[in-house]
Amino acid sequence: METKNSSVVTEFILLGLTQSQEAQLLVFVLVLVFYLIILPGNVLIIVTIRSDPRLSAPLYFFLGNLAFLDASYSFIVAPRMLVDFLSEKKVISYTGCITQLFFLHFVGAGEMFLLVVMALDRFIAICHPLHYSTFMNHRVCYALVMALWLGGFAHSIVQVALILNLPFCGPNLLDNFFCDVPQVIKLACTDTFAVELLMVFNSGLLTLVCFLGLLSSYAVILCRIKGHSSEGKSKAISTCTTHIIIVFLMFAPAIFIYTRPFQVLPADKVVSLFHTVIFPLLNPVIYTLRNQEVTASMRKLLNQYVIC
């Protein structure tokens, strides 16, 4: 069969997370329960921020976008993974694999850039409070969100373009529970050293630079708030600490996966599970639990529309 990249492979067989039926059933139940509990919480965060006029500040606008991106990210891999747990043969078409890979990097890069934008927002709010309303008005916020979506799209297009230029003529066994760049490249019927190097620069180096930049910016912020009042200092430290936790949850697995040469390690699948399924839904929840304004609005919303 002739395809655009002259490949004969029309589908990939996913080897899955584990070959143990008992372990698959356990992971299936845990992930399903996790989704049924945490996913509605992310939806509630979005609805709360959208419905409460008191949460119109850029900080909450970006938090709502973070919840939306994380919820979207969790739908790219997890639903198919849950279905595959119940299937004897786990097969994904070539087109489906490329599509999954595209949206994985599109939304993932968008979230990465959003964390950079949130760090910029906190830096201006804490270090230049008198100019905050000028720099971070609604027009600027919407422009930044549009820019991060465009940045994610550009990043993902590069990933997909490199994959589409590779010939795949077998084997088609993909040693993972979803399609991602490191595993797909290994199945190409050609020397992939140059492509792997480009992937490391496009994903790994970009992730590492953003991670180090974020840590540096929060270090500067924490140093600048020493002279603030005790109440303002406590609130700023709480917000920055939450952001740093989310940064580690988002970037640490990505750095582990994309900044090293594409070689198989025993921990790859476990790290990928947390990176694509668990952490995305936890990020907004972690932030919300440490934010009194959002939690108070959520309680009010639940009392008004659910409990009553």
For 129-184, how does the pLDDT look when each residue is reduced to its tens digit (9 = 90+)?
888 888 899 899 999 999 999 999 999 999 999 899 889 987 889 888 999 888 89
| Domain layout of the chain by residue ranges | 11-307
| pLDDT confidence tier of residue 1, bands split at 50, 70 and 90 | very low
* Predicted local confidence at residue 4, as pLDDT: 45
Helix 292-302 vs helix 21-51: angle between axes, to the nearest 10 degrees? 90
**Quick one: how far is CA 248 from the chain centroid?**
12
Phi, psi of 12, deg, nearest 5: -120, 140
How far apart are alpha carbons 298 and 308 in whole angstroms? 14
User: Tokens for 28?
Assistant: 């299936």
* Cα–Cα dist 191/166, whole Å: 9
Quick one: average pLDDT of 79-104?
90
The per-residue pLDDT for range 270-300, each reduced to its tens digit, is 898 888 888 887 877 787 777 788 888 888 8
In sequence order, the β-bridge partners of residue 91 are 13
Report yes or no: 101 and 159 within 8 Å, Cβ to Cβ.
Answer: yes
Q: Any idea what the Cα angle at residue 112 is, between residues 137 and 29, rounded to 5°?
A: 120
Q: Residue 244: how many CA atoms within 13 Å on its side-chain side?
A: 15
Query: Looking at the domain covering 11-307, what would its CATH class be?
Result: mainly alpha
Scanning the structure block, which residue is given the tokens 């025993």?
Answer: 266
Tokens (6 digits) for 92: 């994904």
Q: What is the pLDDT of residues 193-203, one digit of tens each?
A: 888 888 888 88
Q: What is the reported pLDDT for 2?
A: 42
Q: How many alpha carbons lie under 13 Å from residue 159 in its C-beta half-sphere?
A: 30
- The amino acid occupying position 184 is V
Of 33 and 290, which is predicted with more confidence?
33
- 222 versus 98: the higher-pLDDT residue is 98
Mean pLDDT of the chain: 85
**CA–CA separation, 179 vs 190, rounded Å?**
19
Task: Give the distance between the most distant pair of CA atoms in the chain.
Answer: 69
Pull the structure tokens for residue 99: 């599509």
